[in-house]
Amino acid sequence: MIAEVTLRLHPSAEASCTVAAVCAPEQSLGLADRLMRDGLEPVTLEWYDGRLLARFEGTSAGVARRARATGFEEADPSVWDGVAGVSPGEPGDTVFRIGALPGLWPWVAERVRAAAGSPPVLSGGLGTGVHMYGSGTPRPPRSTRSGRTSPAGAAARSSCVVGPTCRRGARRRHRWP
């Protein structure tokens, strides 16, 4: 039973800009850390398709200033469709959502690459610690291709949550099959 629900609504940002830097997963943490230390406050940081993506939102002047300060190149905002397309996959794809500390992203990427039979589609949420691995080809999510999401298509997809757990006093072990 839900006794009370509180919702916070935020107005849409006046401006939005996506910037990208080509890097390996191992380099992405250092770049993300630099953005945070510099106080640039991206609304999202994601590693996808060999690039660290950062999105900034706010006033036009503020977004332009923060995007320039990164030193990254401006990216087409449609890149987020590709990031979102890793999550649902297609019928027959295997999609894993791997929950780990954000600092374990290079470790996760290395293990996934070593275990995958074909080149994996990887997406690493550097702010959230939720990393995606898909065995299929990256595609825009079903809702952006057809204008709606198919319930039958959603039912055909499966996912698995994997992540290291640690109880107080227990030794933490990281394994990948």
In whole angstroms, what is the distance from residue 134 CA to residue 64 CA? 33
| Cβ–Cβ < 8 Å for 104, 120 | no
Name the one residue in this structure whose structure tokens are 């939005």.
16
Q: CA nearest 35: which of 56, 15, 61, 60?
A: 56
**Per-block mean pLDDT, blocks of 10 residues, the chain (177 long):** 88 93 90 91 89 94 96 94 78 78 83 77 76 62 40 31 35 39
Instruction: Report d(CA 16, CA 58) in Å as an integer.
Output: 7
Q: CA–CA separation, 121 vs 16, rounded Å?
A: 26
* pLDDT for the residue 95: 78
pLDDT of residue 76: 94
Alpha carbon distance 70, 59 (integer Å) = 17
Domains of the chain: 15-77 (3.30.1360), 82-162 (no CATH)
Per-residue confidence (pLDDT) for residue 84, from 0 to 100: 82
Paired tokens of 40? 């640039």
Amino acid at 62: G
pLDDT of residue 135: 65
Q: pTM of the full predicted structure?
A: 0.67
